[in-house]
Amino acid sequence: MSDLKPTEIVNELDKYIIGQDNGKRSVAIALRNRWRRRQVDPELREEIAPKNIVLIGPTGVGKTEIARRLARLTDSPFIKVEASKFTEVGYVGRDVESMVRDLLELSINHLKAREQEAVQGKAQEIAEERMLDLLLPSSSDRQSRESEASDEGAGDSTDDTVIEIGANQESSSGEASSSTREKFRKMLRDGKLDERYVDMEVQDKSMPMVEIFSNAGMEEMGINMRDMLGNFMPKGSSKKRKVKVSDAMELLVQEEAQRLVDMDKVVGEAIEKVEQSGIIFLDEIDKVTGKEGSGGGGPDVSREGVQRDLLPIVEGTTVNTKHGPVNTDHILFIASGAFHMSKPSDLIPELQGRFPIRVELDSLGRDEFTRILTEPKNALLLQYIALLKTEGLNVRFEDEAVGEIAKFAEDVNNRTENIGARRLHTLMEHLLEDLLFEASDMDEREVTINKEYVDEKLKDITADEDLTRYIL
C-alpha cells in the first residue's frame, strides 16, 4: 500500500479519525512525496529531503492517531517518543539518539517475525523429525550396540555368520522402524501424543541481573553495556527436562524458525526500511520550548539544550547502533504539541526551519463527538456493545441518547480542561457503570439507552462543577 494516492490515504484515515481534514491532507502529501522521490533519478533522489510536519492542537483531537494510523497504513517503521522526557535529569545530551535505535529495534523485530512466519512450514517439518527422534529409539544407538557386539566377536571362526545375521537383522529392523516412525508421525499430526512427555534439552536463558550506572554521554559512544557484559557472563547452559509433546513441538518449531532466518539479511532490510520510510512522532514538542521573559536562566537552558540535541537528528546525521550505522536524512519527523503556553516561533530558529509544514487541528465540538461515537470502524459505542454482548446482553443506543452524550462531553470540556475526545471515555464509563457491573447477573437480554437514561446518569455529576472536576 506504499503507492497510495493522497485521496486514498485520506479515505483510509477517515475510517478511524473524524474531521481534521487539514492534518490528513498534510500527512497524505508527505507520504506520497516519498513514493514520488523513489521514482526520481538516483542523482537527484538523495537531494530531496522529507518535509517534516508540526501538528498544533489541544490534547485528544487526533494528532497521535493520525501518525499512528498512517504508519500502519503504509507498513512503515514507526515510533512515538515524548520530547519532554529528554528534559529529565541525566537524560539531556545522552538519550536523544535512542529514538533512532529504538525505531531500528522495532523494525528488526517486525521483519524477523515476518520471516519466521514465512519459514513456518519448513520449521514444522524439521521439528516433526526431531520430535520423532525423541519419541523413537535412535538408529545410531542401535548401530553402536551392534558394532560393539561385532567387535567382541572379532577373531572367532564364525565372523562371517555373525556379520550376515547382523545385516539381516538391520534390514528387518530398518523396515520395522520406518513403519513405526510413520505410525508415530500420523499419531503426532492427529494430536494423539500431545499428552505424552519427552525428555529434551531446554536452553536455560536465565542470567544474573546487572544494574549499570553510567555517565551522561556513555550511550553516544555506541556502547551497549548489556551486550558487552553478556560476553563475559556464563552462557546459559542447556538442561534436560520432561516436556509435554505439544509444548515441546512449539519449542522446536520456534527454535528451527529462528535457525532458518538469515539475521544479516533481516538487519540489512530493517536499516534500509528505517532510513527510507521510517516515521518518528515527536509528541509534546511544545514542552521543550523556552518561555518568553525567562531571562535565559533556570530550566529553560535545559529545554534549549534539548532542541539543539534534536536538531542534528532532524537535519540528518548518522546514528551508531549495535547493528550498524543508521542515516536519518530521509526519516519523516512529525512533531505535535498543544502550544498553550508557547508558540512554534518559540522553538530555536534552526529547528523551526526543519519543520516547514505547520497544521493547526480543530477543537472538537458536539457534532464531531456524535460522529466519533458512531462512525469510525472502532467507534466507542461499537466497543461497548461488543463487550456487553459477550455476556449475552444486547445494548442499543438511540440517536437522541448519542446526541446527549456528545452534548455533555462538549459542556464538560468547555467548563473544565479541554481533553478532546478522551472526555467521551470518562462519560461512557460513568454512563454504563451499572450495566457493566450487573450484566452477568441480569435477566434482561435487551437494553435500550435513551435520552432520559443519559440525563439520569450524567446530569447530577455534570451540574456540580466540583464533581465534574474530580470524577469526569
Identify any residues that bridge with 320 across adjacent strands, giving them in sequence order: 325
Confidence of residue 468 (pLDDT cuts 50, 70, 90): low
Q: What is the mean pLDDT of residues 259-271?
A: 90
Q: What's the pLDDT tens digit per position in 66-117? A: 888 887 887 788 888 888 777 544 554 456 788 899 999 999 999 998 888 8
pLDDT exceeds 60 at position 209: no
Asked whether the beta carbons of 402 and 370 are under 8 A apart, the reply is yes
Going by their DSSP bridges, the two strands 324-327 and 357-360 should be labelled as unpaired
Q: What is the mean pLDDT of residues 216-235?
A: 50
What confidence score (pLDDT) does residue 67 get? 81
Residue matched to cell numbers 460522529:
371
Q: What's the pLDDT tens digit per position in 106-140? A: 999 999 988 888 888 888 888 888 888 877 765 54
Q: What's the pLDDT tens digit per position in 132-167? A: 887 776 554 544 444 544 454 444 444 443 334 343
Q: What is the pTM of this model?
A: 0.74
- The grid coordinates listed for 163 are 556379520
Answer with the residue of higher pLDDT: 186 or 22.
22
Extract the runs of DSSP E, i.e. beta strands, from 249-317. 279-283
Angle at 58 between CA 458 and CA 19, to 5 degrees: 80
CA–CA distance, 30 with 46 (Å, rounded to integer): 16
User: Which residues, other chains included, contact 162 with Cβ-Cβ below 8 Å and sequence gap of 6+?
Assistant: 149, 150, 153, 156
User: Which residues, other chains included, contact 138 with Cβ-Cβ below 8 Å and sequence gap of 6+?
Assistant: none
Asked whether the beta carbons of 316 and 49 are under 8 A apart, the reply is yes
What confidence score (pLDDT) does residue 328 get? 92
Going by their DSSP bridges, the two strands 279-283 and 332-337 should be labelled as parallel
Q: Which residues of 374-385 are buried (b: 16+ CB within 10 A; e: fewer)?
A: bebeebbbeebe
What confidence score (pLDDT) does residue 157 get? 42
Extract the runs of DSSP E, i.e. beta strands, from 322-374. 324-327, 332-337, 357-360
Confidence of residue 223 (pLDDT cuts 50, 70, 90): very low
Q: What secondary structure does DSSP assign to 90-156, as a single string?
A: TTTTTSTTHHHHHHHHHHHHHHHHHHHHHTHHHHHHHHHHHHHHHHS--HHHHHHHHHHHHHHTTTS
What confidence score (pLDDT) does residue 346 get? 83
Answer with the residue of higher pLDDT: 308 or 386.
386
Q: What is the mean pLDDT of residues 392-420?
A: 89
Residue matched to cell numbers 501518525:
67
